[in-house]
Amino acid sequence: MKTGVIKRTSLPTSARFDASYHLSEGETVKRTISNSPYKLISVGDAAERIFYGARARRVYVSKKDHGVPFLSSSDILLSDLSNVKYVSKKHTPSIDDMKLQKGWVLISRSGTVGNCAYTNEKYAQRLASEDIIRLVPNNILRGGFVYAYLASKYGYSLLTQGTFGAVIQHIEPNNVAGIPIPVFPDDFQAKVDDLIQESSRLREEAADLLEKAKKTLKSEANLPDLTVEDYNYFGSSYVGREVSTFKRNIQDISRVSFNAFNYSERIRKNILSRLANINHISFYDALDDKKLQSPMGVAVNELEEGHGIMLINQKDIFDQIVKGKWVAKKAKYYSDLLKQDEILIAKIGTLGESESFCRCIYVGEELEGKLISSAFYRFKSSSLIPSGYLFAWLSSDYGFRLIRASHYGTKLCYPNPAILYKYPVPIISQTKMQEIDTMVKDAHHKYYLANNNELSAISLVEKAIESWEK
């Protein structure tokens, strides 16, 4: 049973007298914020504009040069913004009204409400759906501080208090504009804002390093970028795309699979034939003696945050800041805790172009010591190849398409290790492989520092507000 005492003076602000409303988390936070020793203004006063993009019919395209990257409400949390859908430049109206800019606060407004992101250059000029509220800070409060406040547990409670809708929950810009925000002293705001801005900068640098690593690898191996004509995919088609039909001799059919996708003519002609002409080893030889491993299933007896071991599923692991569930720490899990320099492949999913199925994760400081669900393969590289280099290859367009080409299954798909082991991994000079390895590791260290800075900024805001609780 939840009990509490509400002052009579707080009742006139609402026509509601039911206990469930006044003891709700949002109302509790409002009372805490009202104890602020600093002046309170509304979030709307601290914003030049709060709005969501134009509602418009969207035409998705497969060719990136014909489109603009488009973010959904779940995409704004992703660490890598390159694997999203593209909408047509020509056939999508009101494109300018949907474009994002650096330094904005994004808030998910439908479905999973109240998730926040702070935009850097990687968001700029991308489009976003009307399910994302844009907050453009003005000069009354510092933008990074406004973001940290709304991304805190207090901001989240206030954002989600005004939801409406029977099945799908929503909030509107006016809900955000009406949220009270304390005018903290400028030196406090500056400290929080500096941490958020540094976090934003580090994420830009990390993304640039990973992009450079993959470009360097392909340049050294003399591999051109893939186009949509080079592989099979389950995305938007276009007029003139050649139908993917081919024939194989019975001798070419492996005992492992009869799945036509595994014998793709496009993969054979445009990817495997290119790799056959350069120095390479098999994926099997690129792995250490343990090869591909599948983690054991975990009984989810969820604990309070910070207690036990964090368990991460396939949905959460691709976010900027990974937030898993906390489960009891058991001895049988210790051998399955992630170790630095391991690589993960999301091994269960569907074949949609923006899906995480078959995409890779590098285990850096952020993930070390965490527990993952059985929805992954995990592995380490052999002595023949640095781990960061192997990750750069597997996360490149070539590596991703080869992993996808190994899949089996119908509704839910899985990579087939027997097929995957045979695929080639290019070998370039040791000097360049080490250089790429260093780029990958430096990038993930920057992501780790960026997350620490953001979490520190949010913690500063939360601790200050906690001191007002009575």
Compute the average pLDDT of residues 378-397: 98
Compute the average pLDDT of residues 206-218: 98
Nearest to 426, CA basis, from 178, 219, 248, 237: 219
For 222-427, the fitting CATH number among 3.40.50.620, 3.90.220.20, 3.30.420.40, 3.30.70.3280 is 3.90.220.20
pLDDT at 8: 62
Distance from C-alpha of 399 to C-alpha of 382, rounded to nearest angstrom: 17
Compute the average pLDDT of residues 226-254: 82
Distance from C-alpha of 294 to C-alpha of 375, rounded to nearest angstrom: 8
Q: 437-470: per-residue pLDDT in tens? A: 999 999 999 999 999 999 999 999 999 999 997 6
Q: 69-115: per-residue pLDDT in tens? A: 999 888 999 999 988 988 888 888 878 888 999 999 999 988 788 99
DSSP state of 217: H
pLDDT tops 80 at residue 391: yes
Write the CB contacts of 341 (distance below 8 Å, at least 6 apart in sequence).
362, 363, 380, 381, 387, 388
Give the strand order in the sheet containing 360-362: 360-362, 343-346, 376-379
pLDDT at 365: 96
pLDDT tops 60 at residue 14: no
Tell me, which fold does domain 35-204+451-466 have in CATH? Adenine-n6-DNA-methyltransferase TaqI; Chain A, domain 2 (3.90.220)
Q: Which of the four pLDDT bands, split at 50, 70 and 90, describes residue 270?
A: very high
pLDDT tops 80 at residue 2: no
Amino acid at 1: M
DSSP state of 460: H
Distance from C-alpha of 68 to C-alpha of 56, rounded to nearest angstrom: 14
> What six digits make up the tokens of 173?
């810009």
Q: According to CATH, where is 3.90.220.20 located in the chain?
A: 35-204+451-466, 222-427
Compute the average pLDDT of residues 53-72: 83
| Greatest C-alpha distance within the chain | 84
pLDDT tops 70 at residue 402: yes
Angle in degrees, 0-180, between the axes of helices 397-405 and 387-394, rounded to the nearest 10 = 70
Compute the average pLDDT of residues 180-195: 98
Q: 406-417: per-residue pLDDT in tens? A: 999 988 999 999
Distance from C-alpha of 257 to C-alpha of 347, rounded to nearest angstrom: 17
Compute the average pLDDT of residues 54-58: 74
pLDDT tops 80 at residue 165: no
Worst-scoring range by mean pLDDT, 52-66, 258-272, 331-345, 389-403? 52-66
Worst-scoring range by mean pLDDT, 10-14, 159-163, 346-350, 416-420? 10-14
Q: Which of the four pLDDT bands, split at 50, 70 and 90, describes residue 367?
A: very high
Compute the average pLDDT of residues 273-296: 95
pTM of the model: 0.91
> What six digits make up the tokens of 221?
């191996």
Compute the average pLDDT of residues 128-157: 95
Residue scoring higher pLDDT (270 or 63) = 270
Q: Average model confidence (pLDDT) for the chain?
A: 90
pLDDT at 211: 97
> What six digits make up the tokens of 432?
């360049």
pLDDT tops 90 at residue 381: yes
Top-ranked range on mean pLDDT: pick from 13-17, 70-74, 181-185: 181-185
pLDDT tops 90 at residue 380: yes
pLDDT at 163: 64
pLDDT at 303: 87
Compute the average pLDDT of residues 139-147: 96
Compute the average pLDDT of residues 344-363: 94
pLDDT at 22: 54
Compute the average pLDDT of residues 217-243: 86
pLDDT tops 90 at residue 169: no
